[in-house]
Amino acid sequence: MNIVSTYTAQCSDKKEFHIIMSSKTIVLLARPGLSDKGKILINPHSALMMNITMPTWCVFDDTVDCEDSAENFVKLYALDILGYDVAIGYPMDNRSRLEFYRLGDVSASTVDNDAPFIWGMPTFLAPLHPDVGNTLYQHPAMTNFLDRTMAIFASPDDSTCVGTIVGTGEHVSLQEFCEGQRRFVKQAGGKGFSQIINFPQKSDVIDVIFENLEDFGGYYLPTLNVQSVVHPIWETRFFVVNNTIITSSGRIVSEFPKFDNNASGRYGIEQFSDGLHDDNATVNPYFDIMFDYAQHIVDNMSATGESLHYVLDVAMHDDDDINAVGTPFVVETNGLSNSGLYDCDIMALAEAYALDQCDHPDATIGELWSIDSDVIR
C-alpha cells in the first residue's frame, strides 16, 4: 500500500513536495561512533536548535560532536519523514561484520539485495559506487572553471616526481612546479592536510613540504593536489542530484539543517569559516552571480550525458586576486554521498537523492556482497 506524504520544504519560496512512497527499503550506512545499532546518537545542544520533537530512535549523548551527530541525524529524520523504510548499516567500516537495523530496533533485520544505499559510502564500497568523488574537478567539462593552475602528484617520494597539470595533461616535476613559488598543497582524495607553503629558490621541495606539515606524522606522502594560491570569499556549496541543483548553502561550518523553514542558500560567511567560533552568517551579495555560474557548470556537465551527483563549491575572488576580483570560480567538487550539509534544505535534498537512488541505484546490498574481497582490501 502506497503512502502519500506531503511536506512543505524549508526554502524561502515555500515549495511543496508531494511524495508518493512505496515500501521500498533504503539503506544509510551509519557514521562511526554516532549510532548504536538502531539507535542514533545526537548531542543535546544540537537537538535543542532543531525546533522539532525528537523521535524515539534518537538518544542524547553530550560526548558526540554537535555538527557530526546533527548531520547524521537529519539525513535519517528526513528519510523517515518522507516515508521510507530506512535500514541502518552498522558498523559501516567492516563488511564482514555489517548488520542492518530498522530505526529504533536494536535487533538485526534482513534487507533485500536490491535495496539501494544512500549517503555515507565507506572506502570499501568505492569500487562499486560511481557517486562522484573529489576528482570531478579533473573532468574535461569542469577544468575551465578552476581559474588557477593545479597539478596532481601521485604519492611523491622525491622532488623529481612527475605529476600532471589538470586540464592540459602536461607533465611537470614537483620541484619545477613548486620551487620559488607560493603554492597551496593539499592531500588529494579525502580529508587530510592542506596548507599554503612558500617554497624558497634552490630548496628541496619534498623537504619543505615535510617541514611545513608538522601535524602530518607520516613518512610517506599521499597523492598531492598542488595549486597556485587564490583567495576565496563567500564560498557556497551547491548540491547536485542527477545534474540538477537541488539546494545550496554558504560554507558555514558551525551550521547544520534545522527543519525551521529558514534555510536559504543566500546566507554565508565572507571569509573562511573554520567552525571554531561563532559564524555570523549574512546575506551573500554575490549569490545570484554564483548561482548562475554554478548552473552554467552543471549544464556543461549534463551535456556529457552522464548522470552525476555531487557538491560544487563556488567562491568569489577577493581583492588579493588582482586579475580576477569580483569573479566566481570553482573551489572544489566532492561526492554527494559524504559531503557536509551546512544549512542546506535537507528535505529537498533527501527527497531528490532518495528518489534517484531508488530508480537508478549507484550501489545495492547485493553488489556489496558480490564484490571481491581483494578489491575491498
| pLDDT single digits (tens) 235-257 | 999 999 999 999 999 988 878 88
% of the chain with per-residue pLDDT over 90: 35
Structural domain of residue 47, as residue ranges? Answer: 3-120+358-376
User: What phi and psi, each to the nearest 5 degrees, are found at residue 303?
Assistant: -65, -15
**Cβ(265)–Cβ(344) under 8 Å?**
yes
Contacts of 282 (CB under 8 A, 6+ apart): 267, 268, 269, 270
- Report pLDDT digits (tens) over 197-218: 999 998 899 989 888 876 666 6
Say if residue 195 is in the same domain as residue 243.
no
Query: What is the predicted pLDDT for the residue at 233?
Result: 92
Say if residue 105 is in the same domain as residue 154.
no
Query: What is the predicted pLDDT for the residue at 298?
Result: 94
Whether 138 maps to a domain, the answer reads no
Whether 7 maps to a domain, the answer reads yes
Last residue of one domain, picked from the residues 166, 196, 228:
228
C-alpha cell read off for 375? 578489491
Say if residue 260 is in the same domain as residue 338.
yes
CA distance 69 to 34: 6
- Dihedral sign from CA coordinates of 62, 105, 91, 376: negative
pLDDT at 80 over 60: yes
C-alpha cell read off for 175? 620541484
pLDDT class for 124, splitting at 50, 70, 90?
A: low
Say if residue 292 is in the same domain as residue 371.
no
Contacts of 65 (CB under 8 A, 6+ apart): 43
Say if residue 105 is in the same domain as residue 176.
no
Say if residue 84 is in the same domain as residue 116.
yes
Whether 143 maps to a domain, the answer reads no
Say if residue 86 is in the same domain as residue 45.
yes
Contacts of 158 (CB under 8 A, 6+ apart): 206
Say if residue 28 is in the same domain as residue 104.
yes
Say if residue 185 is in the same domain as residue 112.
no
Query: What is the predicted pLDDT for the residue at 17?
Result: 45
Say if residue 222 is in the same domain as residue 320.
no
Say if residue 61 is in the same domain as residue 108.
yes
pLDDT at 365 over 90: no
Whether 135 maps to a domain, the answer reads no
Please give the mean pLDDT across all residues of the chain.
81
Last residue of one domain, picked from the residues 195, 228, 261:
228
In the chain, how many domains are there?
A: 3
Say if residue 104 is in the same domain as residue 155.
no
Whether 67 maps to a domain, the answer reads yes
Cα separation values, 31 from 167, 257, 339, Å: 35, 17, 12
